[in-house]
């Protein structure tokens, strides 16, 4: 708090940056609290000496108590003055010196003791909150087993190189990200995604740092250095995000920045004008009391500490909130627009039916469709290729027609694959309608101008989707579904999820353009997982990326990233953000109320220095305690949270600088930090939270404009 309104010196900043790893583990180990306790003991001893008749000795002990208590903030205040910076510590220093000059030694000691206690509690609260986030890094094991030159070798996580083959036995944690090359297993990702259900994985599947191998032994090809792994990126992204200020923090900064010099001017006016009409010593004393009463200590930390606590708690529950601004906006959301594929559905479509024209076999229709989809990464293509018995022969001259489908040639015959409407189903119209009403996506296959068949693909609704939608409604949030799929399919699936507002057959830009209409003056959030959702994610007040562990574009565009696939993370993070925002408003209101009430009472002499010091610092402790409440988040049934405490960190990751921003002054310059006793390292780049080579998916509609075709 001594630096609450002025930027710390570079040396101080470097120390603070490393604090999450090197700070005290227990509150009684905090230096400010230790010195405050020592000063309190000295003050009590001095009071006893005075009561026993040894007044001179008692006075000396009380002065020593003042020096001990003031040693926590006076040196910093003097350093700031040398750099022409005035902060709360400056006000407290002036008040302490003035109290000593007036002979009020016990009051000066009490000021230093209580201010040191509040400052120590703030530092401990911030350190504990940051350490709770960095506990994720303790999930990285101290060693990893790699296969080199045909033999097993044990290395530290930082020694893993790209392309190494990492051997993961049952029960072991992954030291970094990779791709499984040999073996099948089940992976426990609860510490990363907040979901307790194991995930089956085999060759070609991605594996993230911190995942627990719950099955057989597997070989994993390393795709990221330990310092650049998904866990490291989570920590770094959140630490960087805590610097991004929202409206509440900017309001507190706007008020606090001019308040310190204004307080000094007010105190000078009280002393000067009062001395003209009364006892100068009395009015000087009242001016010192005003200095303490008006100090914006609580206001300066009201919002930043809440943001640090709330974002850290969310990260342990499978959600990354990218800054205070996103946190505040999330707390205001009243409308949520959900993408269908990959958000409401599992994003694992399967062919559920094939309808053919007379004389045409199912295999013939599937082969023609597979020829057009052979080189596509669209989920619809994957479903069709999986349903084809024989390897597909790629068609020639394949062209994507945006908003409609695909064209190409195979063995000299023209092929078309697309949505009903672009291709007339003809005699298959009744079957197409029936399949769409059953919730399937239907594509028509045409050869040489004649319809040969229709393929129905269905992406099943996530089992938790109805519960998640119901929880959103209980929060007072309106829910809508936006999709590029056809109207009948969309409405069938929406009915199963309990959603009544449905907008179908939308292109990516249509989703973005529709959001203001859905919002109707309210805050709206867009939830999506793919490339085609990026425009809507950017347009919404809050963009929320679903399943962000594997989607580069969405995590870059979104304000909030849900790392897992369980849709219940959405109502959980919305509820948490609302609570955090309420805490911010409470802290700001309480801090301003304390200043507003204490200033006139101090200026008129109703309250003395000791009383004002006690009330002021007690109010600050209340603000800190209230802010820490934002660090508590309860996981919904079926979800889990990452550990809040952990052992040693076995991977070198640079902490972000200036995690808890100052209230008034701009940064003084770049700082190089070190972490966990390792060699100095630079700041990590703000990388997308996804494994290399992954791409987002679009809606299941075969004519999505964003799909990539050869």
Neighbour count for residue 15 (Cβ, 10 Å): 15
Q: What HEC string does 226-239 produce?
A: HHHCHHHHHHHHHH
Residue 169, helix vs strand vs coil: coil
> Facing residues of 437 across strands?
none
Q: What are the backbone dihedrals phi and psi of residue 461, each rounded to the nearest 5 degrees, phi first?
A: -65, 140
246, two tokens: 């929202």
- CB 561 within 8 Å of CB 544: yes
Residue 186, helix vs strand vs coil: strand
Q: What is the dihedral of CA 365, 368, 373, 379, to 10 degrees?
A: 0
Neighbour count for residue 83 (Cβ, 10 Å): 11
Neighbour count for residue 320 (Cβ, 10 Å): 24
- CB 499 within 8 Å of CB 524: no
Q: How far apart are CA 528 and CA 556, in angstroms?
A: 13
322, two tokens: 């990218």
Q: Taking Cα atoms as reference points, which of 456, 294, 461 lies closest to residue 365?
A: 456
Q: How far apart are CA 418 and CA 703, in angstroms?
A: 7
215, two tokens: 């099955």
Q: How far apart are CA 74 and CA 72, in angstroms?
A: 6
Exposed, middle or buried by CB within 10 Å (0-12, 13-18, 19+), for 333?
buried
Q: Taking Cα atoms as reference points, which of 165, 134, 164 lies closest to residue 237?
A: 134
Q: How far apart are CA 228 and CA 241, in angstroms?
A: 17
Catalytic entry in 339, 478, 529, 552: 339
Sign of CA dihedral 574, 579, 583, 589: positive
Annotated catalytic, 339?
yes
Interhelix angle 569-603/247-277, nearest 10 degrees? 10
DSSP tag of 673 = B
User: What distances in angstroms separate CA 322 from CA 127, 515, 538, 641, one per listed residue?
Assistant: 20, 21, 14, 19
Sign of CA dihedral 508, 512, 517, 522: positive
Q: How far apart are CA 529 and CA 548, in angstroms?
A: 7
Q: In what order do the strands lie in the sheet with 478-482?
A: 319-321, 560-562, 542-546, 523-528, 333-339, 478-482, 501-503
For residue 385, the number of C-alpha atoms closer than 13 Å in the C-beta half-sphere is: 17
- Please report the DSSP string for 477-503 in residue order: -EEEEE-SS-HHHHHHHHHHHT--EEE
Q: What is the dihedral of CA 495, 497, 498, 502, to 10 degrees?
A: -60
DSSP tag of 632 = -
Q: What length does the chain have? A: 710
Q: Which helix (H) or strand (E) holds 624?
A: helix 609-628
Residues assigned a catalytic role: 339
């Amino acid at each position: 708090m001594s630096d609450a309104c002025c930027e710390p010196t570079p040396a101080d900043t470097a120390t603070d940056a490393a604090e999450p790893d090197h700070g005290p583990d227990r509150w009684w180990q905090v230096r400010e609290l230790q010195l405050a306790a020592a000063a309190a003991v000295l003050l009590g001893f001095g009071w006893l000496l005075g009561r026993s008749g040894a007044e001179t000795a008692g006075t000396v002990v009380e002065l020593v108590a003042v020096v001990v208590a003031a040693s926590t903030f006076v040196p910093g205040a003097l350093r700031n003055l040398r750099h022409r910076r005035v902060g709360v510590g400056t006000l407290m220093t002036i008040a302490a010196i003035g109290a000593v000059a007036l002979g009020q030694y016990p009051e000066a000691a009490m000021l230093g003791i209580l201010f040191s206690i509040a400052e120590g509690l703030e530092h401990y609260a911030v350190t504990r909150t940051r350490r709770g986030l960095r506990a994720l890094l303790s999930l990285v094991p101290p060693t990893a087993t790699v296969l080199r030159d045909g033999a097993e070798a044990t290395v530290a996580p930082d020694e893993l190189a790209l392309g190494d083959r990492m051997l993961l036995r049952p029960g072991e944690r992954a030291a970094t990200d990779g791709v499984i090359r040999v073996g099948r297993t089940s992976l426990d990702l609860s510490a990363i995604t907040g979901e307790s259900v194991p995930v089956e994985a085999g060759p070609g599947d991605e594996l993230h740092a911190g995942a627990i191998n719950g099955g057989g032994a597997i070989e994993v090809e390393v795709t990221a250095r330990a310092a650049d792994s998904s866990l490291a990126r989570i920590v770094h992204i959140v630490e960087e995000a805590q610097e991004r200020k929202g409206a509440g923090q900017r309001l507190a900064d706007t008020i606090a920045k001019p308040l310190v010099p204004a307080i000094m001017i007010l105190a000078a006016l009280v002393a000067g004008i009062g001395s003209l009409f009364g006892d100068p010593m009395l009015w000087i004393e009242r001016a010192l009391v005003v200095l303490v009463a008006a100090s914006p200590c609580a206001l300066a930390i009201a919002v930043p500490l809440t943001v640090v606590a709330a974002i850290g708690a969310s990260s342990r529950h499978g959600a990354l909130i990218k800054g205070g601004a996103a946190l505040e906006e999330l707390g205001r959301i009243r409308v949520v627009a959900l993408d269908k594929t990959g958000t409401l559905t599992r994003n694992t479509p399967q062919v559920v039916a094939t309808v053919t024209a007379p004389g045409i076999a199912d295999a013939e229709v599937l082969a023609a469709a597979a020829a057009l989809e052979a080189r596509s990464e669209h989920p619809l293509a994957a479903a069709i290729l999986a349903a084809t018995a024989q390897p597909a022969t790629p068609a020639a001259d394949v062209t994507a027609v945006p908003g409609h489908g695909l064209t190409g040639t195979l063995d000299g015959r023209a092929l078309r694959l697309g949505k009903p409407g672009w291709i007339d189903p003809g005699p298959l119209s009744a079957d197409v309608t029936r399949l769409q009403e059953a919730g399937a996506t239907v594509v028509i296959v045409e050869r040489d101008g004649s319809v040969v068949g229709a393929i129905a693909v269905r992406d099943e609704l996530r089992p938790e989707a109805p519960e998640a939608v119901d929880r959103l409604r209980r929060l007072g949030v309106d829910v809508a579904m936006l999709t590029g799929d056809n109207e009948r399919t969309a409405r069938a699936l929406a009915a199963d999820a309990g959603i009544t507002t449905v907008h179908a057959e939308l292109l990516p830009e249509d989703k973005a353009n529709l959001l203001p209409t859905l919002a109707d003056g309210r805050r709206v959030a867009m939830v999506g997982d793919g490339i085609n959702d990026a425009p809507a994610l950017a347009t919404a007040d809050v963009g929320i990326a679903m399943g962000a562990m594997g989607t580069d574009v969405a995590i870059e565009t979104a304000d909030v990233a849900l790392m897992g696939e369980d849709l219940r993370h959405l109502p959980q993070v919305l509820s948490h953000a609302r609570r955090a925002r309420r805490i911010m408003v409470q802290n700001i209101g309480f801090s301003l109320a304390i200043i507003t009430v204490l200033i006139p009472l101090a200026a008129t002499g109703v309250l003395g220095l000791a009383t004002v010091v006690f009330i002021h610092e007690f109010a600050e402790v209340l603000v800190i305690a209230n802010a820490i409440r934002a660090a508590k988040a309860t996981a919904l049934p079926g979800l889990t949270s990452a550990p809040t405490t952990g052992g040693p960190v076995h991977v070198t990751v640079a902490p972000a600088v200036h995690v808890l921003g100052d209230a008034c002054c701009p940064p003084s310059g770049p700082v190089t930090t070190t972490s966990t006793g390792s060699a100095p390292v630079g700041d990590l780049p703000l990388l997308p939270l996804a494994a290399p080579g992954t791409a987002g998916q679009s809606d299941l509609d075969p004519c999505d404009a964003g799909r990539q075709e050869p």
